[in-house]
Structure 1
Amino acid sequence: MHLPNPKWLSLDDAIVERQRQRDAGHTMVMTNGCFDLLHVGHISYLKASRDLGDQLWVLINSDESVRALKGPTRPIESEAERAYCLGALSCVDYVVVFNNPRLVTEIKQLQPDIYTKAGDYTLDTLHQGERAAFEAVGTQIQFLPFLEGFSTTKMIEKIHKAGSL
């Protein structure tokens, strides 16, 4: 199944587009994650991230990367499906899929102005290689309020429970 998604950029295309947007004076906000099953917590967080700059770029883990982080039963949705859902949101300007468990290379190449993470993270709990890369390129790191009670894991548990009724 082909899912048309003009917001999904390869890393090479993203580097070119980022330079074009930087030259135009646009502020890039970047966030990342698996975004396996899109939920209220994700949407709230993405909208708040977008409000911080001119554009929101969402970097998502590839299917292989999600499996390495979350285990063999994940992701629930493929990277194409996850990218399509994120690309359908008006608050998201671009989606880039990355293959490594961490973003160090992409951070250095895209050099975002602002990086956001949900408030369940701190500077100390961020991956320290990623944190160092953000600091090296001058990215401002912001933690946004965490909407309690929403997670992909909780959604999966709820679905399993509903299926056993």
Structure 2
Amino acid sequence: MGSVVTWEKLDALRVQWRREGRCVVWTNGCFDLLHVGHLRNLQACKACGDVLVVGLNSDASVRAIKGPSRPVTCEADRAELLAGLACVDAVVVFDETTPEVSLARLKPEIHCKGADYAPPHGKPIPEAKVVAAYGGTIRFIPLVPGRSTTETLAKITG
């Protein structure tokens, strides 16, 4: 089980993990209305290395990405839920809509993205240049079909 950390605490943890030779994995997202698809994705991310850090979009960045009715769950609750998962070592909140600044600061060995971003037909990956610049690797994690917050909300409101 992990913890919700500040960037300052994460910087210190990163130094420790590097000294211990641990492989740090980063993934990020909104994680609004946590579901089994999120869990399986995070478990697959953790299997890519030793330490899993989850970057959580702040409430403001979720609104910028998803619209004014989101998030459904506030960032403090989303962060605590994620930190409570056995596969998550640390959760840090970030305000940007994409993780370039966070990745440039943490420099994880592995950055995990959903398979919907995989080349050649995937969505653009704005942070790919940042990851390449510090020598990191991007890994694509399969999505769980039929499991998404958007689909869940459609059922609720439908």
Q: Same fold (TM over 0.5)?
A: yes
TM-superposition CA deviations, 1:110-163 (whole Å, max 9, x none): 0001111111112562432x11101111111000111111110111111223xx
Aligned equivalents of 1:153, 1:107: Cα separation in 2? 26
> Of 88, 91, 114, which residue of structure 2 is paired with 1:92?
88
Q: In 1, distance between residues paired with 2:16 and 2:66?
A: 35
CA distance in 1, matches of 2:147, 2:29: 15
Describe the shift of the 1:126–1:19 C-alpha distance in structure 2 as closer, same or farther (beyond 3 A): farther
> Aligned-residue CA RMSD in angstroms?
1.4
Per-residue CA distance 1:88-128 (angstroms, 9 max, x = gap): 10000000000111221211110001111111112562432
The runs of 5 or more residues in structure 1 that have no matched partner are: none
Judging changes above 3 Å, is the alpha-carbon distance between structure 1 residues 6 and 125 closer, same or farther for their aligned structure 2 residues? closer
Give structure 1 regions of 4+ aligned residues with deviation exceeding 3 angstroms: none
Structure 1 CA distance, aligned partners of 2:28 and 2:151? 20
Residue 136 to residue 146, structure 1, CA distance change in 2 (3 Å): same
Provide the secondary structure at the position in 1 that maps to 2:78: helix
| Contact kept? 2:110, 2:137, Cα under 8 Å | yes
Q: Is the partner of 1:120 in helix, strand or coil? A: helix
Q: 123, 133, 136: which one pairs with 1:136?
A: 133
Query: Residue 22 of structure 2 contacts residue 51 of structure 2 at CA under 8 Å; is this kept in 1?
Result: yes
- Equivalences for residues 11-160 of structure 1 within 5 A: 11-123=7-119, 125-128=123-126, 130-160=127-157
Distance 2:124 2:3 in 1: 27
Measure, in 2, the Cα distance between the counterparts of 1:109 and 1:115.
Answer: 13
| Residue 6 of structure 1, CA deviation | 6.4
Name the CA distance, whole Å, in 2 between partners of 1:104 and 1:49.
18
Q: Deviations 1:66-103 (Å, cap 9, x if unpaired)?
A: 00000000000011000010011000000000011122
3-state DSSP class of the match of 2:117?
A: coil
CA distance in 1, matches of 2:63, 2:33: 14
Aligned sequence identity (%): 42
Equivalent residues, number = 156
The runs of 5 or more residues in structure 2 that have no matched partner are none
Distance in 2, matches of 1:21 and 1:102, equals: 24
Matches of 1:121 and 1:29 in 2, distance apart? 17
